[in-house]
Structure 1
Amino acid sequence: MKVMALRRASLSVVGLIVMGLTAGCQRIETPRAETPTPVVATAAVEPLTASGLGLSGTVRARVEAPLAFQVGGRIAARRVDAGQSVQAGQVLFELDPSDLEQAVRAAEADVAAAEAALRTAQADLERVRTLATQGFVSAQATDRAQLAAREAASRRDAAQARLAQVRNGRAYAQLRAPAAGVVTEVTGQPGQVVAAGQPVATLAQAGAREVEVFFPETVTPPATGQARLPDGRTVALALREAAPMVDTLARTRRARYRADGLPAELPLGSVVSTQFALPGQPTAPLDAGASPVGTWRVPVGALDERAEGPRVWRVRDGKLETVPVRVLRVDNRHAVVAAPLQAGERVVALGTHLLQQGMTVQERAR
């Protein structure tokens, strides 16, 4: 009986210990890690007038000509570097003249041989004419002698023309600047073998300069515009030429504008801001029942074109909300959209594919 009582007491103690441990485990709560608030890069929307288009332009020379040798050969010397100013007639490259000198000697020898053959033919003609007056040869023999002399004269003329050609070729061993200007690119190097007509440099000729602008494929380059220079001045632009086709890769159209007021100290390749007047953009609502929209410029990374259609993510009081948009134009940096936005509002500029409606975010302005 005592043994049984001891066993019951031991079991009771073990049960109390187990219950205490279980209760203690239930009271211990594992702390939860707080999820950090996502940080998003935002940018303010920029209002645009319905008829305005701003793009970047590049200052170019009116004439930019690739330079090449008129004969082939191995480049022996390069006497110009990219960015160097040159004068008309200045030597830029030289070819190895060895083969050209040999060609001149061969042509001179051909001329000498042709002249000797002509003298022989003329002497034969004189003898035949003398014999013909004495009745010793026929008129047919005289005609043959005359034809031989004419043929010898033609061969002499052809040899002289070839000699003039190879002498010109020897002069073409020196590539000279056709006009004063700036060498913008150099591709030929000493020791390189080039063919006739293969460009070895590009010369931007001095004189009139222009502004080159690339328009979206849906925009016809307007006839006039204006450029804002880095110092804040504006210059009137007048369309000179526009590419008839859209570039298949960039989906843009190139246009060149005359800009007579560009200062001479503005270097070639400088980037200027341009503004053009375009036909009015649509201001109708995006869908039935929506309020009228404005035209805005946003970073191209702000567009979210998932299954729900084009939209941007607006940040209000630290939370995200979607705004449907109509895409009007897109370039490599910005998109022009029609949307019910307001001046000063900020939209997410990057990573829109990771966002959800109502998400709490922390802004980091670009």
Structure 2
Amino acid sequence: MFRHALIVSLVALLAACGKGEPVEQSIRPAMVVQPQPATEMMDAYAGEVRARLEPELAFRIGGKVTKRLVEVGNHVRKDQPLAELDPQDVRLQLEAMRAQVAAAEANLQLVKAERDRYKTLLGRNLVSRSQYDNAENLYRSGMARLKQVKAEFEVASNQAGYAVLRASQDGVIARRMVEVGQVVAAGQSVFTLAVDGEREVSISLPEQAYERFKVGQPVAVELWSQPDQRYPGRIREISPSADAQSRTFAARVAFSAGEVPAELGQSARVFIAHNGAVPLSVPLSALSAEKGQPYVWVVDPKDSRLKRTAVRIGAYAENSVPVLDGLQAQDWVVAAGVQVLREGQQVRPVDRNNRTVKLAAKE
């Protein structure tokens, strides 16, 4: 009786399924990564994100600092005031030069009138030629004196403007070396400005391996805020002399990619390959095998469907395995749950933070 009822129920269920609409299978998320250079074949150096240009800003005259208008971390615009000196001395100097200009102008009017009078008398033969020449020389001397004091007045006027330190370019105040009340000399560094634009990574290279590094050498940069993403770069410059205390050589690494989300002060790691080619690697959790043949699941960027791809691997590392053949750097590989996947299955690619990933190839 129970068997008969079960058969009838199954038949009814099948009939109902046949008449109803097909049930759409939900697209499951799949965590994906791109193959990265095998870290076992690379040296890693800690670094800090810095601006490409970091000019030291200083007053062009000396004096006592009366105002400091910005703090470290503030973003400033070109010509924005940053600090001010006590303007009393430069204002007095400017007033003194203004008075000298007025005196020179009055003197020039006097000697000009005298010259003109002697010129008229010379035409009537009432004065000698030498007397006229003396009046002419006094006039020319007065003109030269006026030109000189006007130039000195311009210098004093410029120095009055130099009492306000302004930003040379758009950027961020990276360092401050002055306090209100401090007396600074002309040219003494007051601020360090991190200019907007290109960012770099500052690293220190060990003395014992200095010969292995050269300008233009390709590297990979990993930001601590994005541990699963590496950006291509190159060594832009290497200091010719070692630091006196650390005995390391300062180097700057420039990003090769166009847009890199690197912010000032962020920590980073720079990976520099050993001599020879560096293979790609994938997480251990991305690898599976069948009949002794290892493979990974590669996601097609066109329709997000899976393709089983055979690979040739090297020696296992702690958390990853080098892939000697079968993958390209721009491929997207499923990094977890590979044992429940099947060929042609459509997935929704996500990263480790469950954010949807746009399957775009690396530049």
TM-score range (shorter-chain normalised) is 0.5 to 0.7
Give the whole-Å Cα distance in 2 for the aligned partners of 1:252 and 1:88: 35
Give the whole-Å Cα distance in 1 for the aligned partners of 2:258 and 2:204: 19
Q: How does 1:45-194 map to 2 (within 5 A)?
A: 48-49=40-41, 52-194=42-184
1:308-328 deviation digits (Å, cap 9, x = unpaired): xxxxxxxxxxxxxxxxxxxxx
Q: Counterpart amino acid of 1:59?
A: V
Deviation at 1:153, TM superposition (A): 0.7
Q: What residue number does 1:228 align with? A: 222
Report the 3-state secondary structure (helix = DSSP H, G, I; strand = E; otherwise coil) of the residue aligned with 1:228: strand
The number of equivalent residue pairs is: 236
Give the whole-Å Cα distance in 2 for the aligned partners of 1:164 and 1:122: 24
Deviation at 1:159, TM superposition (A): 0.7
Give the whole-Å Cα distance in 1 for the aligned partners of 2:43 and 2:134: 81
The structure whose Rg is larger is 1
Report the 3-state secondary structure (helix = DSSP H, G, I; strand = E; otherwise coil) of the residue aligned with 2:84: strand
Q: Counterpart amino acid of 2:193?
A: L
Q: What residue number does 1:5 align with? A: none
Report the 3-state secondary structure (helix = DSSP H, G, I; strand = E; otherwise coil) of the residue aligned with 1:246: coil
Deviation at 1:162, TM superposition (A): 1.0
Q: Is the 8 A contact 1:235 1:262 kept in 2?
A: no
Report the 3-state secondary structure (helix = DSSP H, G, I; strand = E; otherwise coil) of the residue aligned with 1:213: strand
Give the whole-Å Cα distance in 2 for the aligned partners of 1:158 and 1:278: 66
TM-score, length of structure 2 as denominator length = 0.60
Q: Is the 8 A contact 1:209 1:262 kept in 2?
A: no
Deviation at 1:156, TM superposition (A): 0.4
Q: What residue number does 1:207 align with? A: 197
Report the 3-state secondary structure (helix = DSSP H, G, I; strand = E; otherwise coil) of the residue aligned with 1:126: helix
Give the whole-Å Cα distance in 2 for the aligned partners of 1:61 and 1:262: 15
Q: Counterpart amino acid of 1:267?
A: E
Deviation at 1:247, TM superposition (A): 2.3
Q: What residue number does 2:245 align with? A: 249
Q: Counterpart amino acid of 1:219?
A: Y
RMSD of Structure 2 on Structure 1 (CA): 2.3
Report the 3-state secondary structure (helix = DSSP H, G, I; strand = E; otherwise coil) of the residue aligned with 1:219: helix
Report the 3-state secondary structure (helix = DSSP H, G, I; strand = E; otherwise coil) of the residue aligned with 1:150: helix
Give the whole-Å Cα distance in 2 for the aligned partners of 1:227 and 1:266: 10
Deviation at 1:104, TM superposition (A): 1.1
Deviation at 1:275, TM superposition (A): 1.2
Report the 3-state secondary structure (helix = DSSP H, G, I; strand = E; otherwise coil) of the residue aligned with 1:266: coil
The runs of 5 or more residues in structure 2 that have no matched partner are 1-38, 277-316, 319-363
Deviation at 1:118, TM superposition (A): 1.1
Q: How does 1:307-326 map to 2 (within 5 A)?
A: none
TM-score, length of structure 1 as denominator length = 0.60
Report the 3-state secondary structure (helix = DSSP H, G, I; strand = E; otherwise coil) of the residue aligned with 1:202: strand
Asked if 1:219 is matched to 2:210, the reply is yes
Give the whole-Å Cα distance in 1 for the aligned partners of 2:251 and 2:262: 20
* 4+ long deviations beyond 6 Å: none
Give the whole-Å Cα distance in 1 for the aligned partners of 2:67 and 2:80: 14
Q: What residue number does 2:266 align with? A: 270
Q: Is the 8 A contact 1:59 1:268 kept in 2?
A: yes
Task: Report the identity percentage.
Answer: 35
Q: Is the 8 A contact 1:111 1:163 kept in 2?
A: yes
Q: Is the 8 A contact 2:199 2:262 kept in 1?
A: no
Report the 3-state secondary structure (helix = DSSP H, G, I; strand = E; otherwise coil) of the residue aligned with 1:151: helix
1:304-350 deviation digits (Å, cap 9, x = unpaired): xxxxxxxxxxxxxxxxxxxxxxxxxxxxxxxxxxxxxxx88xxxxxx
Q: Is the 8 A contact 1:209 1:260 kept in 2?
A: no
Report the 3-state secondary structure (helix = DSSP H, G, I; strand = E; otherwise coil) of the residue aligned with 1:64: coil
Asked if 1:239 is matched to 2:238, the reply is no
Q: What residue number does 2:296 align with? A: none
Q: Is the 8 A contact 2:223 2:266 kept in 1?
A: no
Deviation at 1:48, TM superposition (A): 4.6
Deviation at 1:229, TM superposition (A): 1.9
Deviation at 1:141, TM superposition (A): 2.3
